[in-house]
Amino acid sequence: MSNNISDITLSARNLKRRFGDHLVINDVSLELRRGEVLGLLGHNGAGKTTTMQMLTGCLSPNSGNIEICGISLLRQPELAKANLGYLPETPPLYRELSVNEFLNFTARLRGIRPPEIADVLAKAKRNCGLEAVGKKIIGTLSKGYQQRVGIAQAIIHDPAVIVLDEPTVGLDPAQIREVRTLIRELGDVHSVILSTHLLSEVESVCDRVEIMQQGRLIYSDTSEHMRQHENVSGFIVVLRNPPPLDLLEGIAGISHIEPLSASKFRVLHKPQDNPKSTLLSLAEQHGWQLEQLTPLQATLEDVYVRITSPETTTPPEESTQ
């Protein structure tokens, strides 16, 4: 049990924050373990950035408690922040400095001793693909490179907790893939919490998802589980030489079949009996020329929309029509 507690790198309890009369964050509690990537998901204005600002000490909560590696952020901020790396929505850069100068400064700011700086700098630059631009002035770099410098400053001191606010915004697809790989690698050793409204990001890098809406966490689960939130049993089948529809409907186990085009059908069935093998053997016998068979899978997108839509009971098909 004690082992478990030491594994928790970040814990926030009952955070509340108001701006004027407006309650922006309402009773948010989070926990993050070592080696875990947590995705904070939500619409614009759901309170993701405010939550992250509180977790990093840039904003004080009105009530609640935050601990980083067991140290209270509110009572011992300087000790707690030493275990923290933060990339805000806009990367915090001194545009007039060169990449090397800037990273050197941030490393020393986080208390890295001068003899170790060269190594740390080289490692961070290697991780973020910045080797070629070390001597360039940050202001002259493209947005993608500036974002990488932002990520580099957040990980340079090897912190236990890394907080990334929309880390892949403004990057091109190849860079997005690189950054995601990097986050995944970081997540194996450190704890990463990232906010995004890109569901594919959550699918590809996060172990766990917290969905935020109007300042509350309304759903929390592993991203695997989230996808199975609404179980859909069925597949899409393409037959180049299809038989009449009623013949297909007659196959045991098929509960509903819907033609999507002349040769493409959506087949729904009960979860317990899958008519896939029957269909396969029939297709072979009668020469239906099966071309494609893809299992239907609820994408995170469907699930997300369902969870965050006001009437959670309405299936997405109906609500979109």
Partner 1 sequence: MIRLLAQRELRSLFAMPSTWFILAILQFIFTWFFLNTLQAFLEVQPQLAQLANAPGVTTVVAVPLFNMVALLLMMLVPMFTMRLIAEERRNHSFALLLSAPLSIRHIVLGKFFGLLAFLVLLITGVPLMIYSLALGTHLDHGLILGNLLGLLLLTCSYVSLGMYVSSLTAHPVIAAIGALAVLVGLWLADAAAVADNSTWHTISPLNHFQNFNAGLFDSGDVIFFVLFSAVFLLLTMRRIGNNRVYG
Binding site for partner 1 (CB under 8 A): 19, 53, 56-60, 77-79, 81-82, 84, 86, 88-97, 101, 105-106, 108-111, 137, 153
Nearest-approach distance from CB 114 to partner 1, in angstroms: 11
- Dihedral sign, CA of 144, 150, 155, 161? negative
**Residue of 206, 165, 171, 166 whose CA lies nearest to 186:** 206
Q: What is the DSSP letter of 244?
A: P
Residues 62, 209, 293, CA angle at the centre, nearest 5°?
160
Nearest-approach distance from CB 55 to partner 1, in angstroms: 9
The nearer residue to partner 1, 91 or 275, going by C-beta atoms, is 91
Nearest-approach distance from CB 85 to partner 1, in angstroms: 8
The token pair that represents 49 in the structure block: 């950035």
The nearer residue to partner 1, 109 or 189, going by C-beta atoms, is 109
User: Which residues are CB-contacts of 292 (< 8 A; sequence separation ≥ 6)?
Assistant: 236, 237, 238
The nearer residue to partner 1, 109 or 260, going by C-beta atoms, is 109
The nearer residue to partner 1, 59 or 238, going by C-beta atoms, is 59
Q: How far from 293 is each of 133, 235, 270, CA to CA, in Å? A: 47, 7, 17
The nearer residue to partner 1, 110 or 269, going by C-beta atoms, is 110
Q: What is the DSSP letter of 138?
A: G
The nearer residue to partner 1, 32 or 211, going by C-beta atoms, is 32
Nearest-approach distance from CB 82 to partner 1, in angstroms: 4
Nearest-approach distance from CB 242 to partner 1, in angstroms: 58
In DSSP notation, 31-94 reads: EEETT-EEEEEE-TTSSHHHHHHHHTTSS--SEEEEEETTEETTTSHHHHHTTEEEE-SS----
297 in helix, strand or coil?
Answer: coil
The nearer residue to partner 1, 53 or 195, going by C-beta atoms, is 53
Nearest-approach distance from CB 101 to partner 1, in angstroms: 7
228 in helix, strand or coil?
Answer: coil
Nearest-approach distance from CB 234 to partner 1, in angstroms: 47
Report the relative pairing of strands 161-165 and 84-87 from DSSP bridges.
Answer: parallel
Half-sphere exposure of residue 3: CA atoms within 13 angstroms, side-chain side: 0
Nearest-approach distance from CB 22 to partner 1, in angstroms: 11
The nearer residue to partner 1, 101 or 207, going by C-beta atoms, is 101
